[in-house]
Amino acid sequence: MAWHDEDSWLTTAFAPKLSTIGFTFLLAIVLPILLHQYLYRIKTPTSLPTFLLIGPSAAGKTALLTALERGSPIPTHTSTSPLSVQALLPEEYVPSSASYRSPGDPAFERARRFVLYDTPGHGKLRHFATTQLVNPTNIQGIIFVVDAAAVAEDVGLNETAEYMHDVLLALQKRYTGNRTSKGPKEIPLLIAANKLDLFTALPPHLVKISLEKAITEVRKSRVKGMKDSGVGVDGADEGLGEEKEWLGDGGEGVFEFGQMEEVGTNVSVRGGNVVGGQGSDVKDWWEWIAEQL
């Protein structure tokens, strides 16, 4: 039975038979559907908007994370590794992107989900946070947790300001280093003034003012500071080409958080407390998250 015989498979395949037509038709319909199903399955589930929790050690990042995840904080200790957790916006807040949707809509429910990414705040472990900042895929916002009581003192203020300076500078570099004309996605930053239940804590507007002052100081001394060893020791000229960049308005004058808006970072300061005698007060932060979602 050669291929040119009448009842060979090749001839049958091209013959105008009903079975052949039916099979071909079925294949034409089903194959795309199966292919779609397959591709849909293997693709990772749609990435949720992520909020990055940054801040110096013992500011209350992990406690805030647990409070946002389950409603009330649980005891925590110093973190040594990052943690990402899926959380749900409570009923009483409406995500801004879904404000027109009705509560029964599945898309409405989906819009209320987000991921919180907690980073260790210890000086040696900040690379977890900074690597996230270099390439922020689907980061919807950054929550910089500040201990409002520690900011009242010089030591705490300096540490916080330096870390915040570095974070803001990284965000600015992301914006200015962009090659396309459109500019990267905006990443808003919330300064969460935590521990307002403490007697010594500064109110949010004072936290803002003292941080702005301290960041101005940090910037001033960074401008004057020494070149780092990356240029000299390597012997290569790689470092010479790139200009060092200064935070906000070319590094002159007084720093204000308003200057960050130019580079796509809207900074807002809100207060609250995670743990406290009268329970936790995270309402303002929930509102901020709802605005960003």
Partner 1 sequence: MLDTFEILTTSGVVLWSRSYAPVGANIINSLIRDVFIEERIVPVEDAAQKPTYKKEGYTLKWTMAKDLGLIFVAVYQSLVHLTWIDKLLDNVCALFVGLYGEQVKSKHTTTLDCSRFKPYFDRQMQELEGATPSFGKPNVALTPPSSSGNDSVEDTRLEPPAAQNQAQKPIFNHDTSTDATPVPTPDASRPSTPAPSHLLTAKAGPGGKLSRRGRKKAAAASSPAAASSGDEATRRKTRSSAKKNRVWNEFGADEEDGSVVLDYSTHDVEGDLAQSGPALEEINPETWGKKTSKGQFVLKDLDDEMDEIIAEQNAKKQSSTATASSGGIMGSSIGAIGGLFRNVVGGKTLTKEDLAKPLKGMEDHLLKKNVAREAAVRLCESVERDLVGLKTGSFTTIESTIRTSMETALTKILTPTSSLDLLREISTINSAQHRPYVLSIVGVNGVGKSTNLSKIAFFLLQNHHRVLIAAADTFRSGAVEQLRVHVRNLKELSRREGGEVEIFEKGYGKDAANIAADAVQFAQKNGFDVVLIDTAGRRHNDQRLMSSLEKFAKLAKPDKILMVGEALVGSDSVAQARNFNGSFGPGRGLDGFVISKCDTVGDMVGTLVSMVHATGIPVVFLGVGQHYADLRGLNVQSVCRLLMS
Q: How far is the CB of 119 from partner 1 (least distance, A)?
A: 9
- In the complex with partner 1, the residue whose CB is nearer, 174 or 270, is 174
Q: How far is the CB of 215 from partner 1 (least distance, A)?
A: 12
Tell how strand 113-118 and strand 83-88 pair up. Answer: antiparallel
Q: How far is the CB of 268 from partner 1 (least distance, A)?
A: 26
Closer residue to partner 1 (CB): 94 or 149: 149
Q: Please enumerate in sequence order all residues whose Cβ is within 8 A of that of 118, keeping only pairs 6 or more positions apart, or say none.
A: 53, 61, 62, 65, 79, 82, 83, 84, 85
In the complex, the smallest distance separating the C-beta of residue 244 from partner 1, rounded to whole angstroms, is 12
Q: Which lies closer to partner 1 via its Cβ, residue 132 or residue 263?
A: 132
- 170-199 burial by CB neighbour count: b if 16+ within 10 A, else e? bbbebbeeeeeeeeeeebbbbbbbbbbbee
Specify the residue, 8 or 86, whose C-beta has the smaller distance to partner 1. 86
- Smallest separation, CB 125 to partner 1 (Å): 6
Six-digit token string for 98:
């879904």
| Distance in angstroms (rounded) separating the CA atoms of residues 21 and 9 | 14
CA distances to 12, 61, 164, 271 from 215, rounded to whole Å, are 80, 21, 8, 19
Nearer CB in complex with partner 1: 73/271: 73
Q: How far is the CB of 10 from partner 1 (least distance, A)?
A: 42
- Find, among 87, 96, 95, the residue nearest to 64 by Cα: 87
> Smallest gap, in angstroms, from Cβ of residue 51 to partner 1?
13
Would you call 194 helix, strand, or coil by DSSP? strand
Chain residues binding partner 1 by CB under 8 A are 58, 62, 65-66, 69-70, 74-86, 115, 118, 120, 122-127, 154, 158-159, 162, 217-218, 221-222, 224-235
Measured from the CB atom, the residue of 172 and 216 that comes closer to partner 1 is 216
Tokens 């007084």 sit at which residue?
A: 254
Least Å distance, CB 15 to partner 1, is 48
What are the tokens at 108? 């409405």
Residues 34-57, buried b or exposed e (16+ Cβ, 10 A)? eeeeeeeeeeeeeebbbbbbbbbb
Q: How far apart are CA 80 and CA 57, in angstroms?
A: 10
Task: Give me 193's structure tokens.
Answer: 């003034």
Cβ closer to partner 1: 75 or 103?
75
**CA atoms of 11 and 189, how far apart (whole Å):** 69
